[in-house]
Amino acid sequence: MFPNRIIRTRAGLYRLYSTLKVPHVEINGINYKTDPKITNVTDSIIKLTGRSLHLKESHPVGILRDLIEKKLNSVDNTFKIFNNFKPVVTTMENFDSLGFPKDHPGRSKSDTYYINETHLLRTHTSAHELECFEKIRNDADNIKSGFLISADVYRRDEIDKTHYPVFHQMEGATIWRRTKANEGAKEPTYIEKIREDIRQVEDQLNKENVKITVDDDTIPLKEYNPKQEYMSDLEVDLCSQHLKRSVELIVSEVFNKKISSMVKNKANNTPKELKVRWINAYFPWTAPSWEIEVWWQGEWLELCGCGLIRQDVLLRAGYKPSETIGWAFGLGLDRIAMLLFEIPDIRLLWSSDERFSKQFSKGLITSFKPYSKHPGSFRDVAFWLPKDKLDVHQVHENDLMEIIRNIAGDLVESVKLVDSFTHPKTGRKSMCYRINYQSMDRNLTNAEVNALQDMVCSKLVKDYSVELR
């Protein structure tokens, strides 16, 4: 896999690509070859691949996952559950199987953790859609089938209270098999079935204490969010209704649980209504596609992307042409968990401190009681970007985040760009980032913070040839 030149001069490889150390990495007990030109997954990220917070019964993410699974399956128990997929997937699974164009930004090294050219840490649970559609293909006796997948997903991203390089998603999908009409019936059996399925979800929605108000002007479909040729207008209408009501049921269940607990605790900011809105969206493997947002404590919060599954995906999963129609959604769990359990910083979800973990129990939505707020201490790093040197790559913001994460890990609360300008005479560009060091478990000493900051600065100079100011 490696050019001979590099294998023979291994010391050279160390020097050039010091973050890799060896040309292999072990993830979940499997050895993967690394590729110096491509690999950007780091030890600090690999350490998180075995945590499986979504499977922990008394962890906020696990409690939320369980709550949603139970609610969705309370309607008619059609969702098969797959919660044990390992995070390393192929580029085929994560992108190609879903029809991502070759130049889609989601594939870029600045956003995705690559292990080598063919393997990466999944960036979304949709990476397992094809496999799950294959798994349910042979439930041929049922008109309707479905699945739910929950897993950890990985994205190179900024550092602050609501962003972490690992978060959790739940993927859901439902399919109906097209069947002919029974003798004397007005409509084919599967159409009658979908109508009945919608009624069942609506019944559940009507049982909620605080009824959800839905703002949806995404229908009629616009040109940029078109329906697929192979589906009739009626099918699109019914499938979308079932999808949207099912997603609303999740939101309604979860936020009603929260509202009840706020009422019980006489919280003074208890909302009197529950508002969501639908927005047109684009995903390569669904058409039409939407996102849903919820109005919570004065802000619109994006919860979930979804749409009607493109027939190509079903064909790739071995379905016959025109045999099946259906929908899929992908829901982020961490931010919902944070507001349900009132967790102020996303790093807490990863804390092993018992003062955190002991606060939660299976099936219960309780408010997190902060055990301490340790003071933070910030340091600025200002530097000139290299100019006219084609051999050094410019620093992508996510590369800087990665350096900081590797050196200081969870001791960093946030990193913000505070200044950037181009020198009018020399044309050189200067950047200044503010790193806020703050531990959730203890006080940091000045000496400790200085040492971390020195390491960050040297690494930045070494890897990206920037000039510190």
**Binding residues among 114-133 for ligand FA5 as defined by CB under 6 A:** 124, 126
Q: Is residue 335 close enough to count as binding ligand FA5 by CB under 6 A?
A: yes
Note whether 254 binds ligand FA5 by CB under 6 A. no
**Counting contacts by CB under 6 A, is residue 332 touching ligand FA5?**
yes
Residue 311: burial class (beta carbons within 10 Å; 0-12, 13-18, 19+): buried
Using CB under 6 A as the binding rule, the residues of this chain from 275 to 294 that contact ligand FA5 are 283, 286, 289
Distance (Å, rounded) from C-alpha 161 to C-alpha 347? 7
Q: Which residue is nearest to ligand FA5 (CB)?
A: 332
How far apart (Å, rounded) are the C-alpha atoms in residues 100 and 362? 38
The single residue among 66, 157, 312, 342 that binds ligand FA5, judged by CB under 6 A, is 157
Minimum distance from CB of 114 to ligand FA5 (Å)?
Answer: 18
- 100 lines the binding site for ligand FA5 (CB under 6 A): no
CA torsion angle 386 389 394 395 (round to 10):
-40
Which tokens go with 118?
């063919």
C-alpha separations of 453 from 214, 405, 408, 419 in Å? 48, 12, 9, 18
Does position 60 bind ligand FA5 by CB under 6 A?
Answer: no
Neighbours of 351 (CB within 10 A): 15
Asked if 360 and 60 touch (Cβ cutoff 8 Å), the reply is yes
Measured CA to CA, the distance from residue 355 to residue 12 in angstroms comes to: 46
Task: Provide, rounded to whole angstroms, the least separation between the CB of residue 428 and ligand FA5.
Answer: 32
For residue 161, state whether it binds ligand FA5 (rule: CB under 6 A): no
Q: Cβ distance 42 to 402 under 8 Å?
A: yes
If the CB atoms of residues 64 and 460 are measured against ligand FA5, the closer one turns out to be: 64
Q: Cβ closer to ligand FA5: 326 or 386?
A: 326
452 binds ligand FA5 (CB under 6 A): no
Q: Considering only the stretches 86-94, 131-139, 322-330, 399-407, report the one whose residues sit in contact with ligand FA5 under the rule CB under 6 A.
A: 322-330
Q: How far is CA 151 from CA 25, 50, 65, 305, 395, in A?
A: 21, 11, 10, 16, 31
User: Contacts with ligand FA5 in 164-193 (CB under 6 A)?
Assistant: 167, 169, 171
- The secondary structure of residue 160, as a DSSP letter, is B
Q: Which is nearer to ligand FA5, 93 or 171 (CB)?
A: 171
- Rg for the chain, CA atoms, rounded: 25
302 part of the interface to ligand FA5, by CB under 6 A: yes
Q: Rule CB under 6 A: say whether 307 interacts with ligand FA5.
A: yes
Residues 340 and 257 sit within 8 Å (Cβ to Cβ): yes
Coil/strand/helix, residue 85:
coil
| Least distance (Å) between residue 327 CB and ligand FA5 | 8
- For ligand FA5, the binding residues (CB under 6 A) are 124, 126, 155, 157, 163, 167, 169, 171, 283, 286, 289, 302-307, 328-330, 332, 334-335
